[in-house]
Amino acid sequence: TGIWLIPLHTIVTPANVPDTYELPEWLTSMYPQAHDDVQQCMAQGEEGYVLRAWPAGNQSTSNSHTGYPHSTATLISDTSSDDRHPTASESSSTTNTTSNGSRLIILASSPEGVLYGTFHLLRHMGTGQPLDQLTAISRPANRLRMIDHWDNADGSIERGYAGQSFLYENNAFTRDWDRLHDYARLLASTGFNALSINNVNVHATETLFITDAFLPDVAEIANILRKYAIRLYLSVNFAAPMEAGGLSTADPLDEAVRRWWQEAAANVYRYMPDFGGFLVKADSENRPGPFTYGRDHADGANMLAAALEPHGGQVIWRCFVYNCKQDWRDRTTDRARAAYDHFQPLDGKFADNVMLQIKNGPLDFQVREPVSPLFGAMQQTHQLLEFQITQEYTGQQRHVCYLVPQWKEILDFDTAVNDRFAPVKQIASGSIWQREWNGIAAVGNVGADGNWTGHLLAQANWYGLGRLAWEPDTRAETIAREWAMLVFGMDTEVVETITTMLLDSLSIYENYTSPLGIGWMVNPNHHYGPNVDGYEYSPWGTYHYADHMGIGVDRTIATGTGYTAQYAPINRDRYDSLESCPDELLLFFHHVPYTHVLHSGKTVIQHIYDTHFEGAEQAAELIARWQTLEGRMALGLYTQVAERLAEQAEHAKEWRDVINSYFYRKSGIADVQGRVIY
């Protein structure tokens, strides 16, 4: 097969498309669709591409490439030369999947587009699809498709479950460029185009990443990422002017502080002309921020935006701002309200190169939360949706928990702002209000472990986030199956078993952990394993208020914290009323007696018992399902997953028994099926 890469700008330029342009004769004669595809391709924008295969006999088979312009085409099946004219024998060479003389074209208006088109082709081949009928026209739905690392310079990873960092050790860069190269290729293969390389909690060493002490290393990383069209971002410390610059203040309105950031930014751009920008966690969980100086978040973000603006950089400012020192006796403060209360009033006040990064839910990446009401509530602000790929609260990559179905639900959620259909995916992408700089960012789940993600099956989450950020309408099942084929090959039984295990895993995990949207119930600090009261009398603001009568947080307007009022009317009313609130979020919004009857017909207490018995059984069944694959894959792959599934099943029992016993003892209500509760 001749595979042709046509850098479109050598044939046409955006200026002469679609009005008048001419394609060279050699191209149109061998490529019947050329005119249509060029039009389509230009419409896909910078990162899009057109992939097209057409069979032999449909085009001129002459070997005359006379007049074929130098450097407009490359035969990528030949690795010895990048830039020469194909010979007749090369361009008609065959593969197993296409007929003699068929051709395949990757058409894009930029090198990035060619890159993504190439990965599309590899994915197509890797999932066993025939080449000869391939037609694909694609562009990313989201401009920014980003991974945030929470790696620290000492080599640890905050919430990392796949070994140490491969970026840092002992307060220096590992300089493991080979691994980084592999990493960049993996990222690009699923469409990521941005990477923030250090934890949003910026400690002493990382504060200096924007100084000459570390910029040479940072720039080397950027050089590798650039080959795969990935822009590098850095998390910065809001107090850097003091901690790195020796100033006496970090007040965003102070002239010396503003100048310090301007110079720091200019210096960063001397090393990396295409540097993406700064990611900032400010006034959150003990990090410094503008509040110290009586300023607001717009003051803080805009100060950094002004420093980056001359260089084309951006500020990504996180909305994860809440009081982590509240008094558990105070029932009026509701952590869920915090992001909206802090940021919504600032809509319209942020500079154009500021994006607000908003966690998917109002709390913190629980297995079940409603969508953050901030989406849709800031129509004049660039917004970035933040997901967490690393499984902090969803089994820490010791349990299998395929998160794509959860992300899909969030992306598809209709915020109904302005009484119109306004799903989160259109707000994240910016398409709803024609905003250019929007997208999806996610906390990564990789580390130095050989399989990247600790649990092999956790790779599917990383892969899945990339695929969703490119095209949010891709089905969770399609993504799971694709990933399984790309990793394990084409054995149907293997692929189908893994696909269904992945698809079932989220509800299994939800079944045996905290019920009905209440969240938490984990051990404080490390967040692994059950502890119903772990955060009940703590300053972090995460409570369930269970007593002998009932459980749940009243967030209604009439009797609760009023959180429901942060949603557009349709959603507000649905959540506010006990009758219409969906079961799976009931305890997030309402405090109810254990005898309250759900829409499912069960009481709350019986639902807790049933789901926990069922979840632990399902976790045990995962082992049996996996065992059917023994001998059908490399032993090392088989065993590493088998070991984790065994641990998960044991741990699911612990969850079951802790949760069931706790609520049995609180409520005194027996299980109708009389199963063992301790």
Q: How far is the CB of 476 from ligand GCW (least distance, A)?
A: 23
Give me the phi and psi of 158, to 5 degrees please.
-65, 125
Task: Tell me which DSSP letter residue 671 carries.
Answer: P
- What is the three-class DSSP state of 643? helix
How do 103-108 and 135-138 pair as beta strands?
unpaired
Nearest CA to 232 out of 316, 331, 134, 135 is that of 316
Closest separation between CB of residue 659 and ligand GCW, Å?
21
Using the minimum distance from each CB to ligand GCW, give the nearer residue, 285 or 352: 285
Report the nearest approach of ligand GCW to the CB of residue 440 (Å). Answer: 15
Q: Which residues neighbour 303 within 8 Å (Cβ) at sequence distance 6 or greater? A: 252, 253, 257, 258, 261
Q: Which is nearer to ligand GCW, 45 or 529 (CB)?
A: 529
Q: Which is nearer to ligand GCW, 119 or 540 (CB)?
A: 540
Give the nearer residue to ligand GCW in terms of CB position, either 285 or 330: 285
Residue 612 binds ligand GCW, judged by CB under 6 A: no
Closest CA to 604 of 650, 558, 669: 669
Measured in degrees and rounded to the nearest 5, phi and psi for residue 450 equal -55, -40
Residue with tokens 């002469």: 16
Least Å from the CB of residue 396 to ligand GCW: 12
Least distance to ligand GCW from the beta carbon of 365, Å?
Answer: 6
- Residues between 361 and 400 with contacts to ligand GCW, criterion CB under 6 A: 364-365, 392
- In Å, how far from its chain's centre is CA 124? 23
**Residue linked to tokens 């993406």:** 276
Q: What's the closest the beta carbon of residue 218 comes to ligand GCW, in angstroms?
A: 20
CA distance 485 to 493: 11
Q: Does the annotation mark 364 as catalytic?
A: yes
Q: Are residues 223 and 231 in contact, defined by beta-carbon separation less than 8 angstroms?
A: no
* Count of other CB atoms within 10 angstroms of residue 178: 9
| Footprint (CB under 6 A) of ligand GCW, residues 175-194 | none
Least distance (Å) between residue 524 CB and ligand GCW: 10
* Stretch 487-526: interaction string toward ligand GCW, x if CB under 6 A: ----------------------------------------
Is 392 tagged catalytic? yes
Nearer to ligand GCW, 281 or 572 (CB): 281
Strand partners, 318: 357
- Residues 428-447 interacting with ligand GCW (rule: CB under 6 A): none
> Smallest distance, Å, CB 47 to ligand GCW?
28
Nearer to ligand GCW, 159 or 612 (CB): 159
Among 200, 221, 316, 385, indicate the residue that binds ligand GCW (CB under 6 A): 200
Q: Which two tokens stand for residue 310?
A: 């001359």
Q: Are 678 and 671 in contact (CB under 8 A)?
A: no
Rounded least distance, CB 274 to ligand GCW, Å: 26
Q: Closest Cα partner for 267 from 196, 214, 200?
A: 214
Q: How far is the CB of 357 from ligand GCW (least distance, A)?
A: 10
Q: Which of 22, 36, 285, 496 is catalytic?
A: 285
Give residue number: closest CB to ligand GCW: 364
Of 107 and 202, which has the nearer Cβ to ligand GCW?
202
Identify whether the C-beta of residue 585 lies closer than 8 Å to the C-beta of residue 574.
no
- Catalytic residue status for 274: no
User: Would you say 321 or 592 has its CB closer to ligand GCW?
Assistant: 321
Does residue 324 contact residue 287 with C-beta atoms inside 8 Å? no
Return the structure tokens found at 109: 């208006």
Please say which residue, 47 or 151, places its beta carbon nearer to ligand GCW. Answer: 151
CB of 361 to ligand GCW, least distance (A): 11
Estimate the crossing angle of helix 492-512 against helix 476-488, to 10 degrees.
130
431-433-434-436 Cα dihedral, nearest 10 degrees: -80
Please pick, from the candidates 124, 139, 159, 399, the single residue that binds ligand GCW as defined by CB under 6 A: 159
In the window 86-115, what residues touch ligand GCW (CB under 6 A)? Answer: none
For the chain, what is the radius of gyration of the CA atoms? 27
Asked if residues 300 and 524 have their Cβ atoms less than 8 Å apart, the reply is no
Phi, psi of 373 (to 5 degrees): -70, -5
If the CB atoms of residues 301 and 605 are measured against ligand GCW, the closer one turns out to be 301
User: According to the binding rule CB under 6 A, does residue 150 interact with ligand GCW?
Assistant: yes
Please, which residue, 281 or 368, has the CB nearer to ligand GCW? 281
What's the rounded Cα separation, in Å, for the pair 149 and 93? 44
- Binding residues for ligand GCW, rule CB under 6 A, total 11
Beta-carbon count within 10 A of 281 CB: 24
Indicate the SS3 state at residue 141.
Answer: coil
201 sits near ligand GCW (criterion: CB under 6 A):
yes
Nearest distance in Å: CB 285, ligand GCW: 6
Q: Which of residues 267-326 bind ligand GCW (CB under 6 A)?
A: 281, 285, 320
- The string of DSSP codes covering 228-270 is TT-EEEEE--TTHHHHTT--S---TT-HHHHHHHHHHHHHHHH
Q: Pick from 350, 409, 417: which is nearest to 384 by CA? A: 350
Of residues 240, 319, 310, 239, the one with CA closest to residue 277: 310
Query: 392, 449, 482, 510: which is the annotated catalytic residue?
Result: 392
Q: Which of 644, 392, 364 is nearest to 527 (CA)?
A: 392
d(Cα 526, Cα 297) in Å, to the nearest integer? 29
Nearer to ligand GCW, 487 or 522 (CB): 522
Rounded least distance, CB 283 to ligand GCW, Å: 12
User: d(Cα 457, Cα 662) in Å, to the nearest integer?
Assistant: 32
Nearest to 12 by CA among 53, 41, 47, 48: 41
Cβ proximity to ligand GCW: between 281 and 481 the closer is 281
CB-CB contact of 423 with 411 (8 Å) = yes
Among residues 251, 364, 369, 610, the one annotated as catalytic is 364
**Site pattern 527..566 for ligand GCW (x: CB under 6 A):** ----------------------------------------
CA angle, 503 then 542 then 322, to 5°: 105
The token duo for 193 is 């185009």
Nearest one of 301, 296, 303, 316 to 383, comparing CA atoms:
316
Positions marked catalytic: 285, 364, 392
List residues binding ligand GCW (CB under 6 A): 150, 158-159, 200-201, 281, 285, 320, 364-365, 392
